[in-house]
Structure formats: C-alpha cells, structure tokens
Amino acid sequence: MTVEQRGPRGLIQAALTAGEDPAAKARSLKSLHQSWAEGTRIEEVVRPVVARSWSRAGSLGKNIVPLDASAVREKRESNEQLVDLVDLFKDRLLSMATQAGNQLVISDEQGYVLWVLGPSTIRRRSDGIGFVSGARWRESDVGTNGIGAAMAEMLPVQIFGPEHAREEQHSWVCTSAPVVNPATTALVGTVTLAGSFRTAHPHSLALVSSVAKEAESLLLAEHKLKMQRLELTSELPQGEFVLVDSHGSVAASRGFSTGGKVHLPPGLAEGHVWVDALGPVDALRTVGGWIFTRTKEGMSLQLCFGPQRQVMIHAATGTSLVVLGEKHWQIIELLSRHTHGVDAEQLRLLWPPSTPQVTIRAEISRLRAKLPGVIASRPYRLVVPIVNQ
C-alpha cells in the first residue's frame, strides 16, 4: 500500500505508508529490482513512477565525475534564482532533516548538486556513492534516483531503497521536489531530503512538496515585482503596444491579445520585425526589455505551393515559416486573389452549403491567431503584401 495525493502537476505517491516497516519493504523490492536489472521485466506491482523511471534509466555503469570546486562556485553564482531560495530551504528543512538523520541537497536545473547540507555522518556516507557537490544526478547519469526522477516527471517523488537503479544506493531514501518558475514554466532546480532508507516516511514527501510550492510562490511574487518595475520605468506609447522583459515575459500591453509570454525571435534588433503571436511590429529596446507596436512596413507574405502547404513571413529580422492545414490554405489563397477583401458569403463557398456560420467564423479566428496582424476583417483581407506567387 502507498500513500497518494494529487498535486498541481499530477499524482504524488509516497514510497511507503506511515508505520510500514522499511526493512521489510526493502526486502520485498529486492526481487523486483533484480528482475528489471537482469532485463527480464518490470513487474506490475512496481510503483508507476518507479516503473517509468526504470524504463528511462541510463547506463548503470557510468562513473560519477563531479565538477571541481571552482566550477561549482561558478554554477552557484550564475543561478541567481536558486541562490535566492537557499535560505528558505535551510530555514524550512535543514533542522528537521538533521533531527531525522537526513541531509538537505539542492541541485540546479541540469541536475548538478550545488549544496549538500546536514550531519557530517550522513555526508560522509553520501561521499561514498558520489552524492556530492558538483555531481550530476540525472536519470541518464546514475539511473533511477530522487533528483533525476523528479526532473523527468516534473513532480515530487520519493525513491526508496531498491527502487534506486544502482545497488550502492539501495540503503538510501531520497525525497525530491522540482522547483519550477511559474512565470516562465522553466525548471529552476530540485530540493531533496536524503538519508538511510530506515528514515523513510510519507510526511517527508509532503514536507518537501510544500516547501517547493512555497519557493515557487516566492519566484512568482518576485517576477511580478520585476514586471511592475519594468512597466513603471519604461516610457510607454499612447497607442497599442506590448512591453516585455528580455525573456519575453509580458509586463504590460494595450490592444494586443497575448498571454503572459511571447517568443522573441533570435537576433532581435530594433525596427520592423515579426513576432509570433503578435505579428508584424516595430521593436524598440528599453532598459530591461522591449516595446512592440503595430506596423505593416517591411513585411511580406509568400505562399509556398507544394506537398506541404505553408506560408513564409518575411521581415527585417528574418523569415518565419507557418504550416497551414488544407482549409486555412484555401482561405489564404482566396484572400491572395482578392486584394480588396472578401465578405462572409464569398468565404462560405469554401465549405459545404450546410456548414453553420459559427464554424466558419471559428476557422477564420484560428487562422488569424496563426498569422497575427496579417488578416483584417470587414471585409476579410490581407494587410501584408504577397510576393513571388
């Protein structure tokens, strides 16, 4: 029996129940691990999160070669978001981990262990299995483990005893939770409690999960403050605009339909550019980000006839390629032939007579979302010139 709870990104499952004998549990898992390690099969009784990890696990024969101290220092200094969370992790977890005979391990978004904190006796044991600062503990590096599984699943996990891929880790339990920046959806790092398998408890999973959520709330609050500062310190235009930071997170907008983030084109420079989800815009650099305003200048549309129907949007910063379905291609082709635009009745000819008008409008809306700023309405028409038809 296991303890399960629903988290924001899926099902979270503890390795054993409160009061369950860890030694007996470990013995029951030995044969299951052996069956998998020998390449026979993954038994159905293996916990789903472990079965998935065993299926993904990399070579068990790889050596663990940690980064040197200077490289670890460099990684710490370059990860501002994670550094800002270290005190929170220490405050919420280190004392309890020490009392429980566990150590606190903090790793980055690549799986590199950057901090190992806790009782020296536990840290000496972890040194013996390469669980040290500078070591990378992805599944592809050391097989199934707490850090690697949490990164792959993007969920808090608890890996107990022989659920670990390598036998030298079978005396351990690792309870890990990923920390994701809600504003960017990017993995910031992983926080882990690790110790003897005899210390395993479902409450550890709940605790680590809770602290990871608290860290994510802090990251979101900090992001919102940065967006507010960017808006307050930027000279915004009177008309329609989108203000984003250097990563594309939207700080403010007027007149554009956009979510919380836009994909910035590579090599972005000031001038006429095409931005996915915004369409043709003028880009203006501001301190800490970019301001985009609508423009039609310097843009052109090219229809690519061939087995795969697609259009090319040419802009000063380069060319964007958009693949279209058959119906969207028919609409674009119709609009390209009628430079002054078409009305709803002309569009209806592309569908069977019984097609509801709401279906046609929905299809037009989807196409306009694919090619923002390219198709105007009343009448429907292209506002970007067609070239090389």
Q: Are 347 and 334 in contact (CB under 8 A)?
A: yes
Tell me how far apart the alpha carbons of residues 176 and 194 are, in angstroms, rounded to a whole number: 8
* Residue 197 DSSP code: G
Amino acid at 61: G
What are the angstrom distances between the C-alpha of 10 and each of 157, 211, 286?
11, 17, 39
Look at residue 17 and tell me if it is in a domain: yes
pLDDT in tens, 171-222: 999 999 999 999 889 999 999 999 999 999 999 999 999 999 999 999 999 9
Q: Which two tokens stand for residue 334?
A: 């119709």
Residue 113 shares a structural domain with residue 22: yes
Residue 218 shares a structural domain with residue 343: no
Tell me how far apart the alpha carbons of residues 386 and 389 are, in angstroms, rounded to a whole number: 7
Tell me how far apart the alpha carbons of residues 251 and 264 are, in angstroms, rounded to a whole number: 14
The CATH number of the domain where 362 resides is what? 1.10.10.10
pLDDT at 385: 81
* Residue 374 vs residue 88, higher pLDDT: 88
Residue 377 shares a structural domain with residue 333: yes
Query: Average pLDDT, stretch 269-297?
Result: 86
Residue 9 shares a structural domain with residue 130: yes
Question: Strand, helix or coil at 137?
Answer: coil
Among 253, 269, 294, residue at a domain's last position = 294
pLDDT at 298: 66
Number of structural domains (the chain) is 3
pLDDT in tens, 209-229: 999 999 999 999 999 999 999
Q: Which two tokens stand for residue 193?
A: 């409690």
Residue 265 shares a structural domain with residue 338: no
The CATH number of the domain where 28 resides is what? 3.30.450.40
pLDDT at 322: 87
Among 225, 260, 275, residue at a domain's last position = 225
Q: Are 221 and 81 in contact (CB under 8 A)?
A: no
Which structural domain range is residue 258 located in? 242-294
Residue 309 shares a structural domain with residue 367: yes
Query: Average pLDDT, stretch 287-311?
Result: 84
Which helix (H) or strand (E) segment is 332 a member of? helix 326-337
Full strand arrangement of the beta sheet holding 113-117: 113-117, 102-108, 186-196, 172-181, 157-160
Look at residue 230 and tell me if it is in a domain: no
